[in-house]
Structure formats: structure tokens, C-alpha cells
Amino acid sequence: MADKFSKAKRSAIMSRIRSKNTSLEVEFRKLLWKNGLGHYRIHYNLPGKPDIVYVSKKIVVFLDGDFWHGYNWKKLGKVPPRKYWQKKIQKNIDRAKKYNKLLRKDGWKVLRFWEHDVKKNSNSCIKHIIDRY
């Protein structure tokens, strides 16, 4: 499948995708404060660069984008057409597993939420954090 943008235009579009303070993260952090779950750190220096860290409780929270982290991409038939993207997403999946293991080995509770869950079921995500808190 050919890209509808030129290589330069696609590069410009992709370079604007942020990895920190995404709208998903910002909205979720507002919900955390609203539910009395403030006092977290953001972009704390740990393996995998967790989005939210409760240092005193040893809880790390990752908000995984559906596309970038391959939410059921093979099962749902949403495999990107290019080998480049397939490789990139598979590396993200493998890396997440590796960091989960490392963090758990160091005594951290690792919570990962999919982008679509945060958007549609944010209260259950908050409840899950409260249950671990």
C-alpha cells in the first residue's frame, strides 16, 4: 500500500508525534488528581520510562498507545502493511515485556493501560490503581 504523503511530508508528520505529555497522559493525570491520586512523579528515570510513578508505593503506570504498542494487532487483523512498522511494533511489544520483568524483579508493581481503555473506561483504570495503592 503506497503512502499518500511524500517521504518528507510523512517524516514531518511522524516527527510531531510526542512521547511525553500526550493528551492521553495529561487527561489521565487530571483524573488522578480529581480522585485523590496526586503525589506521583512523571517521567521518572526507570527502565521503560513509565508515564506515572508513585515512588513511595513502588507503582509504575504505563499508558500504551493502541497502534504503537500493537493492541491485538495480529488478532484484529490490523497489522500494518509495511515490514518496517511490523518490526517496529513487535520491538515495542518485546521491550515492554522486558521492562515489566525488570521492574517487577526490583519490587515495582507494574500497571499498563491501553489507550482505548483509558479513553472509554478511565474510571476502571483509576480503580485499578486505587486497588494497588
pLDDT digits (tens, 9 = 90+) for 120-129: 999 999 999 9
pTM, two decimals, is 0.79
Identify the CA nearest to 44 among candidates 26, 23, 20, 22.
20
Q: Which residues 6+ apart lie within 8 Å of 48 measured at CB?
A: 60, 62, 95, 96, 99, 100, 102, 103
Query: Cell numbers at residue 66, please?
Result: 493502541
Question: What distance in Å separates the CA atoms of residue 36 and residue 26, rounded to the nearest whole number?
Answer: 16
- 41-68 mean pLDDT: 90
Ordered by where they begin, the domains of the chain are 18-132 (3.40.960.10)
- 16-28 mean pLDDT: 75
What is the reported pLDDT for 1? 47
pLDDT band at 9 (very low <50, low <70, confident <90, very high): confident
- Is pLDDT larger for residue 57 or for residue 133? 57
Query: Cell numbers at residue 85, please?
Result: 512498522
Question: What distance in Å separates the CA atoms of residue 35 and residue 58, rounded to the nearest whole number?
Answer: 19
